[in-house]
Homo-oligomer: A and B are copies of this chain.
Amino acid sequence: MHGGSGVISLEKDILRRNEELAAEVRELLRRSGVRAFDIMGSVGSGKTTIIEQLVDMLKAEGVRCAAITGDVAGDCDYQRLVQHGIPAKNINTGKQCHLDSHLVLHALENFNLREIDVLFIENVGNLVCPADFPLGAEKRVVVISVTEGDDIVRKHPLIFQLADIVVLNKIDLAEFVGVEPQTVVKDFRKISPNGKIFLTNAKSGEGLAEFKNALLS
């Protein structure tokens, strides 16, 4: 959130409007039989790689995937995902630091929803702002990387409280960056005793089957 006390009521209006549109997104997806997942996390945490892997796994099972990619600028993530043969829509938010339901609602116009089973919504790379803007997805996932430091949960408790599932990625790099993954897991357990957290190495695929099962459960 930007701004100070003078903008609090306006921000409440923005958040309420986003919630209303999130309900519209949710209802549209429900009617169309699409399960959508909001994938949040910092730049470089591994969101795109994880989606790429899940798309390949799900395609092999006959599940029809699609993706919306949100970025401030450019279409790097979008270009990676369409390589996997799925319909996708890129959203450039310009200066906006997160996706919102209005953007997602319009992006959905670009898909034939009846031909999609699972929609991945890759949020803008940012661990702060997306938290306040639910997008009407069935589950919200936070992807973090061990390279972000073992104090990551303590620094950003809100988004971890909101998350349905947390993925701690790049565990193969833990020893190189001197981070103990269990410290992150313990911090997460303190604020979300029953929360789900998976340790993954998205490049090798380690841990992704367990994450996929939890996501689609």
Contact = CB atoms under 8 A, between A and B. Distances in A.
Given A43-B127, A128-B124, A149-B44, A1 B95 contact: yes
Contacts of A158: 72-73, 95
A26 to B, nearest CB: 20
Interface stretch (A4-12, A31-39, A192-200): A4-12
Contacts of A96: 1-3
A185 interface: no
A96 B2 CA distance: 5
Contacts of A128: 72, 95, 97, 124-126, 129
Nearest to A147: B147
A56 B151 CA distance: 23
Q: Oligomeric state, in number of copies?
A: 2
A98 interface: yes
A216 interface: no
A64 B114 CA distance: 64
Given A127-B126, A147-B170, A155 B102 contact: no
Contact of A152 (B44, B94, B155, B157): B44
A24 interface: no
Given A43-B42, A126-B97, A126-B126, A73 B7 contact: no
Interface string A152-190: 101111100000000000101100110000000000000
A27 interface: no
Given A72-B128, A95-B128, A173-B177, 9 more contacts: A2-B96, A7-B10, A74-B154, A97-B97, A97-B129, A129-B129, A170-B177, A172-B176, A173-B176
Interface of A: 1-4, 7, 10-11, 14, 42-44, 71-74, 76, 94-98, 100, 102, 124-129, 132, 145, 147-149, 151-152, 154-158, 170, 172-173, 176-177
